[in-house]
Structure 1
Amino acid sequence: MPSRRDFISASLGSLGTLAGLASCSTAPRPDDYEQCVERTWRHGGGVSGNPTALQHELVRYASLAPSSHNTQCWKFHLEDHAISILPDFSRRCPAVDPDDHHLFVSLGCAAENLTQAALANGLKGHASFDAAAGRGVRVTMEPTRPFPSTLFQAIPERQSTRGEYDGQPVSPQELQLLERAGTGSGVELILLTERQAMERVLEYVVQGNTAQMNDPAFVDELKRWIRFSGDEAVRMGDGLYAASSGNPALPPWLGRLLFDVFFTPKSENDKYAKHVRSSTGIAIFVSDTPGPARWVEVGRCYARFALQSAALGIRNAMLNQPVEVATLRPQFAAFLGIGARRPDLVVRFGRGPKMPPSLRRPVAAVLV
């Protein structure tokens, strides 16, 4: 999913001098990316009494939701008292997400952000899966008392943080808040905090990662969504910005060259081992029935989990290899003891430093 791949091993640091020299003449001014971050990751205002402006602001909040590879695989249709979130199949990722599971999870994430933002602006949102209208999510809204919830306040702070955490435990009260936020209709949240269980999950992550890294279609697809430099990230407004994974920003030509050299199963598996072992715990979202309607609900649950995490100062990032590799998924389900139910998302969490944020396309680009 919901996005999550680093592309260069820690050994890339030895090429820092080369990266710095190469980027001096081609990278944008440092404030270009930073200014775009400030415009993107913020709370808005000044739309009271202007219904059209308010709808655009709600779409902006919705587009700050997580999506697989940060593809932003959604389109928004504005109606009187409603906003529909439609799948943008031109942004699907067939190699990593052949059944569009992550795509519909992403729509659910956007729907949750939208309903939280609507409530803060005096509108109660009712989200429902609409199979008849492009298999999207329709959010109808009715006036209510404005309530800027804790989850709404955390929207600009939420991030998929692809780095090492501090490994320290979180309190039982915080775990209860995370579990409550991440549970929904037909969706269970399993929280693993014991080291032995986390090591077992790591074994499945390594198996899945190795299988994906040996799939040229997966590697090519991932590479297409990486934005190696700040100006490329700003120009495209989507994808996985290299610096967001703790890697140096590079001119695209150099980034692609080093990707081919350093993106290996061993380097990635070593990195995931460090990530898991520095995490406080692992959250696994499990749905009771397959299909887009339930996957949307999984997305809403994950969005609440991620926003609650951000509100508590807890980071999170995806470890979805055990659920993305179809042949591995039943074995992972057996390890979890969930029977025939599907494990949908695997998420590590813990406290750690914030990384440079990813960017988003403008509202006008996602309206239909």
Structure 2
Amino acid sequence: MPDFVRTIDLFCGAGGLSVGFEQLSGLPFKTVWANDSNGFAADTFNLNFGPVCRAGDIVDLLKDPSVPVPQVDVVMGGPPCQGFSLLNKQRGDDPRSKLWIPFMEVVRRSGARLFLMENVPQLLGSREHQELCARASSMGFTVWSGALVAADYGVPQTRKRAFIVGSMDSDPAEFFPPPVTHCKPGAPTTVQPWRTVADAIADLPPPVGTEIRSIAPPLDLHFGRNPTEKSRARYLAIPEQGMNRLDLQRAAPEITPDCWIRKTSGGTDLFGRLWWDRPAFTVRTEFYKPEKGRYLHPEQHRPITHREAARFQSFPDSFRFTGTKVEIARQIGNAVPPLLAAALARQLYLLHRAAQQE
């Protein structure tokens, strides 16, 4: 067995990156230190990986001399993306878009010769992206940046995210992007077709109750909600796969919210039903609210459950979440899909091995 490749997982959330690296890549990665500002997420991380995650603000931790940063091979993580998100594009300079600075400080202190950063695609080409790449270059790193679609790597979800890879020893552009393993059906290629909603959740029975249950997975997180009568009527008014708020307006204008009627452009996924034969759309932190996106079950008259969302993110059923329903939903929606993380891990391992053989 080769020596472990030691990693730090920053802004780690529940641990989507570490699941991919440690559990799904088939390679000897080991997270030895992690951090998240959310205590519930840190508890989930420690439940699955052992007591390596320190909860708290990373800036404060870096100021504390009693908190040493261990020496590692790789630093990875996804600084909070609100500063770049399309949902926040009118807010101007957002201090949360600067959290790459403590990330790179951890890279420096840890002696890591590789780093991997995840964020929303809007990061690419931004001023912060340029500043980050300049900082990495001044530290001796060669950088690759690009956007990847999770469905191309076996995740049953069309989530698109930006990744930045830095290496002190080789040009990461020789190893990235990872070769795709899945593709949109009908594409002229020999790789497998995208995994679909049916692939991910068709085996699950209808959900029971409205609370987390103390039973074995996957049914522990497979619970429903108590919709209002008006919400239930809205679900019934759009029974076919792929329907959305525009179909609701045509079928039942009397129960369509006025704000949706006034909204004449954009937002076609709001109050949308999923399709069985396509991947899910991006799972966000409030996936249990169908007014927030395409989160209605393909045929049952309800939003998707926490278990279904976790499967769309490619979390194994054996992964254990802890916290309230809202906190677990936040952990699921904020995570890097583990199967996408595993594809990234395999390429980083090749980079690491290439440096060792030089």
Larger radius of gyration, structure 1 or 2? 2
Give me the TM-score of the superposition, normalised by structure 1. 0.27
Q: Give TM-score scaled by structure 2 length.
A: 0.27
Higher helix fraction: Structure 1 or Structure 2?
1
**Higher-RCO chain (CA-CA 8 Å, sequence separation at least 6):** 1
